[in-house]
Amino acid sequence: MHLDVSRSRDELTATLSLPAGIQPTDAALREALANAGIVHGILEDVVTRLASEAEPGEHVVARGEPAIPGQSGSVEALVEVQPETLVPKQLEDGSVDHYNLGSSPSVAKGTVIARRLPPVPGTPGRTVGGGWLVVQPVEDALLKAGKGCEVSADGETLVATAQGLVREVQGVWTVEPVFRVSGDVDFHTGHIDFDGDVHVDGHVAHHFRVVATGDIVVRGSVDGGHLVAGRHIRVGEGVFQEATLQAGGDIRVALLDHATATARGGISVQEDAVFATLTAQTSILVQGTLVGGRCEADGALVVAKLGGKQGTPTEVSLSPRERWGRVRDQARATQERHEANRVRMVEGLQQMEAMRIRFKGLHPDKEALIARLKETLEAIATDMRRLNETIREAESHMNHAHDPVLKILEALRPGVAIWLQGQGMTTKDLTGACTVKLHEGRIQVFEGKPQGS
pTM for the full model?
A: 0.65
- Residue 433, sorted as left (phi over 0), alpha (psi -120 to 50) or beta, turns out to be beta
Looking from the CA of 259 toward its CB, the CA atoms found within 13 Å total 30
C-alpha angle 333/334/335, rounded to 5°? Answer: 90
- Asked if 294 and 317 count as a contact pair (C-beta separation under 8 A), the reply is yes
pLDDT at 83: 63
Per DSSP, which regions of 248-381 are E strands? 251-257, 260-263, 267-269, 273-280, 284-297, 301-306, 314-318
Residue 261 has pLDDT above 70, yes or no: yes
3-state class of 165 per DSSP? strand
The end-to-end CA distance of the chain, in Å, is: 118
- Helical H runs in 97-235? none
Looking at the chain, the whole-number percentage of residues with pLDDT higher than 90 is 62
- Under the banding of pLDDT at 50, 70 and 90, the label for residue 93 is low
Rounded to whole angstroms, how far apart are CA atoms 5 and 23? 16
Tell me the per-residue pLDDT of 324-381, one tens digit each, with 9 for 90 and over. 888 999 999 999 999 999 999 999 999 998 988 888 888 888 889 999 999 999 999 9
- Asked if 288 and 306 count as a contact pair (C-beta separation under 8 A), the reply is no
pLDDT at 258: 95
Residue 287 has pLDDT above 70, yes or no: yes
- Asked if 115 and 73 count as a contact pair (C-beta separation under 8 A), the reply is no
Tell me the per-residue pLDDT of 370-406, one tens digit each, with 9 for 90 and over. 999 999 999 999 999 999 999 998 898 888 777 788 9
Sequence spans of domains, the chain: 4-63, 74-123+135-176, 178-282, 322-400
Q: What is the DSSP string of 207-231?
A: T-EEEESS-EEESS-EES-EEEESS
Rounded to whole angstroms, how far apart are CA atoms 269 and 286? 5
Nearest to 127 by CA among 37, 33, 11, 6: 11
- Measured over the CA atoms of residue 341, residue 345, residue 346 and residue 347, the dihedral's sign is positive
pLDDT at 86: 46
23 secondary structure, DSSP code: -
pLDDT at 187: 84
3-state class of 189 per DSSP? coil
Rounded to whole angstroms, how far apart are CA atoms 12 and 412? 97
- Asked if 319 and 424 count as a contact pair (C-beta separation under 8 A), the reply is no
Beta strands at 233-240 and 284-297: parallel, antiparallel or unpaired? unpaired
Tell me the per-residue pLDDT of 106-135, one tens digit each, with 9 for 90 and over. 788 999 999 999 999 999 999 999 999 999
- Helical H runs in 129-168? none
- Asked if 249 and 264 count as a contact pair (C-beta separation under 8 A), the reply is yes
Tell me the residue type at 262: T
Overall size of the chain counted in residues: 453
